[in-house]
Structure 1
Amino acid sequence: MSLGSIISLIAAGLLAEGDTYVVRGAELTCSEGSLPSSLNLPQSHGVYIKGKPVMNVADCVVEKNIGLFGFCKKTDEVCQPELCGRWSHGKTDLSIDDEPALLDRATLTCALGGKITITKNGGQD
């Protein structure tokens, strides 16, 4: 799919009802963390919504894409996420840098017992 086609689909909002794409700056929460964190993208994939870079399911590297969540309730120490795989629930028919676009219902699992969810998609003004 060409970049122009991707941009057209995004602009048209072709998503399942209630789903939204996730962009840089999205707010994340871990079920075992004491604080929210944010999703970062040091280098854009080249696709934007309202000037913000769109994320994909591979954007799940600790300290590059995923910040820390304060203190971990499981370890009683500063959060050090140990992620198990990539984000679930990408838009498989819309690739951003050859990976499914990230949707707001996606989750990540931490090996320490936490579930990371997207609480704000980053597109709020």
Structure 2
Amino acid sequence: MGEQELFALEEASGRANQAFMESYGALQQASDRSVAAKEAYQSALNEMENGYNQIPTKEQQENLRKAREELTAAEEAQKAAEGKYEETAQAAQEASDAVQAKKEALRASRATDTTYVVHGARMECSCGMRESYLLLEHSHGVLTRGIPQMTVKDFRLNENIINFGGCTSTENPSTQEAAQKAVQAANQAIQEEKKNEGFLGKVVSCFAGDGKMDTKQIDDSVISQCMGECIAKFAAKEGWRKGHEKVTVNGDAPLLRRCELDCIYGGRITILISGQPE
């Protein structure tokens, strides 16, 4: 099934990201040290030059020597930190790419996968903000590898299906409302900040270009840029499609990894991993 391989890749990606963040922090510290060293060196140099034709004192010479040494060390440390940062950034990207490649392989194999789905399976929605999980509060009395097996009737939002954090569907009323609020805010910003060329100006132009928009005529191109609440609803009373044709659990077809569930707002929910231990 490759699920354990995905878990291993995700753990490796997490470690790579942690190393990247640590190297970023180290680079920031090295950069700050380098800036401080340059300032200290320049200050020591200025102190000597302010003496005009006078011979620099031993103390001034010593201060300049120490400042030069610290500057050299700081610049070397920054160079090393930059190298480490680039190395960890590349490693983090490669680890992330490996995770995505594995997920794509799992998606490609899903359509014909008849693996039984159990409590804790991971799923995704075509309009969802993030992946989520399938849960079963009360067992149907059938276990697969010690874990409660799920059926096609396990499709209740926030009971079986943990919501996907947000929704990008243009058919979702919540997303439409978010778009209206965004356009209203953009129109107000246009009035108040017409000459603003900074971040706010970019946000405004993303939604409204150079002119005001009619909040009653917001098209899908605007709505699709917004994120609404996940309020999934399912029209099919039978629940998930493509369940097992020959086996039943208390009269209902067992849920398989190939199964699909359509939301009335246009999202399609599919199962990424079955939840079974390998």
For the aligned pair, the TM-score class normalised by the smaller chain equals 0.7 to 0.9
Structure 1 contact 41–59 (Cα < 8 Å) conserved: yes
Q: Deviations over 1:58-89 (max 9, x none)?
A: 01111111110011012221211111221001
1:80 to 212, 217, 231: 231
Paired with 1:63 and 1:35, the residues of 2 have a C-alpha distance of 15
The alignment's TM-score, normalised by the length of structure 2, stands at: 0.38
The 5 Å alignment of 1:15-94 reads 18-74=113-169, 75=175, 76-85=227-236, 86-94=239-247
Paired with 2:122 and 2:113, the residues of 1 have a C-alpha distance of 17
Paired with 1:34 and 1:97, the residues of 2 have a C-alpha distance of 34
Tell me the C-alpha RMSD between the 2 structures: 1.3
Structure 2 contact 113–256 (Cα < 8 Å) conserved: no
Paired with 1:66 and 1:44, the residues of 2 have a C-alpha distance of 15
The alignment's TM-score, normalised by the length of structure 1, stands at: 0.82
Match of 1:80, as an amino acid? I
Structure number with bigger Rg: 2
Unaligned runs of 5+ in 2: 1-111, 170-174, 176-226
Secondary structure of the structure 1 residue equivalent to 2:124: strand
Structure 1 contact 84–108 (Cα < 8 Å) conserved: no
Answer 1 or 2: higher relative contact order, Cα 8 Å, separation at least 6: 1
Say which structure is richer in helix.
2
TM superposition outliers: structure 1 runs of 4+ over 4 Å: none
State, as a whole percentage, how many aligned pairs show the same letter: 38
